[in-house]
Amino acid sequence: MAMNIKRPNGTEDVIPRDAHKWHTVEKIARETAESYGFGELRFPTFENTELFLRSVGETTDVVQKEMYTVKAKETEFTLRPEGTAGAIRAMLQNGLLNEALPQRIFYIISCFRHERPQAGRLREFHQFGLEMAGSPSPAADAEVISLAKKILDRLELRNIELHINSIGCPACRAKYHDALRAYFEPRKEELCDTCKERLVKNPMRLLDCKSPEDREIAKDAPVILDYLCEECSSHFTKLKKYLDIAGISYIVDPKIVRGLDYYTKTVFEFITTEIGAQGTVCGGGRYDGLIEQLGGQHTPALGFGMGLERLLLVMDKQGCDFLAPKKCDIYFATMGEPALEKAMKLSAQLREYGYFAEFDLMQRGLKAQMKYANKIGAAFTMVLGDNELAEGTAKLKEMESGEETKMSLDNKFETVFEEIYFNKMMNVMDDGNNPPFAFTGEDK
């Protein structure tokens, strides 16, 4: 009996015809981060479990319900459920925080959480994230938010709202926790079992509960902004001023607390209503105590994560432009073994110049080869047979216009082809059309 093995539930394959969409998001995110002075960091897919227990928080859903943890002999590892903890661990271990501050890093990673799969929420998902360490200034918060918005703007996303909040420092939150317990305690028995535990350990988590019943109970809960100390209140006021200066619109949303325990002061989300319940396409904030918690010196820091699957969902729904997929520049249709050998040599020469050259590998007839060239969208074709080899020339056909150019098959072949190809590109742009292999819309 044949095996029927499918991908694990909550994961997705990215096939070649869709890869250009991912390349678009990754290219714009990477270029934008670099324009703000961020450099790329790569770090392991799994870490010692203790890292996430200490950073993410033992009372969070991520730690309690969603982590993928494995034991290898005496060691316990966890597939990363988010990027910040591993990134900070890598910055500490590699001495980056001993260098000039602020340190700025970004990363493109896969993360893993055992959640109920749905649109925009997978068990293996991908993030573009970044961290800035060293600055306590609200100007740094505005800078990071500005960077996130710049990425979304360059992707041409519409109807995205920025929601901001401050969840204060530990001193603020201690008083706020007392107020929340006083509010929820009379209705404790109406809460879900998870929130009953949260009420004791971390009552702010109640505001993040997905249960409709618990959300209804929480709708009139005390607001953290009423409990901020003078320093945290001043920090938030300055952040709003800097966002105003930058011309970035925002909504103050006291219900935003984020799902991880390491956040302090600023938290923010970019939200859309166009992909259902999983509408947060970017979320982040400040975590001034995390680096010290993980064994470093006290160093203020902040960052964000963007869910790539969610971004792509919104882009598809809104009809946003993507990088055009790379297509064949020239296809050699061959007749006979000598012609095949010549096509192999010419293809090798063109590939040295960066062209996408292809020739027949299926022993098709000439008619079938030309049909294949059309199917793959080849820009040019060239038929090679005994006559062409004997004469040392062949006709290069531009597939869109049908125009043919006779070319020598000598050592200068790639130079002549490059000139013809360049002229075609110029004609395409002069006609007001889009050049091949660039953005399908206005060049970013």
- Measured distance CA(288)–CA(115) in Å, rounded: 28
**DSSP classification of residue 78:** E
- Going along the chain from its start, the domains and CATH numbers come out as 16-169+248-318 (3.30.930.10), 171-228 (no CATH), 330-430 (3.40.50.800)
Block residue for tokens 């019943």: 213
Give me the tens of pLDDT residue by residue for the chain, a chain 444 residues long: 577 899 999 999 999 999 999 999 999 999 999 999 999 999 999 999 999 888 776 656 666 678 889 988 878 999 999 999 999 999 999 999 999 999 999 999 999 999 888 877 899 999 999 999 999 999 999 999 999 999 999 999 999 999 999 999 989 888 998 999 999 999 888 888 888 888 888 888 888 787 888 888 988 899 999 999 999 999 999 999 999 999 999 999 998 887 667 789 999 999 998 876 668 999 999 999 999 999 999 999 999 999 999 999 999 999 999 998 989 999 999 999 999 999 999 999 999 999 999 999 999 999 999 999 999 999 999 999 999 999 999 999 999 999 999 999 987 898 889 888 888 776 655 555 444 333 333 333
- Could you say which DSSP state residue 69 is in? E
Distance (Å, rounded) from C-alpha 228 to C-alpha 235? 10
Helix (H) or strand (E) holding 282: strand 280-286
CA dihedral 92→96→99→103, nearest 10 degrees, is -110
Q: Is the peptide bond before 203 cis (omega within 30 degrees of 0)?
A: no
**What are the two backbone dihedrals, phi and then psi, of residue 232, each rounded to the nearest 5 degrees?**
-65, -40
- By DSSP bridging, strand 251-252 and strand 357-359 are unpaired
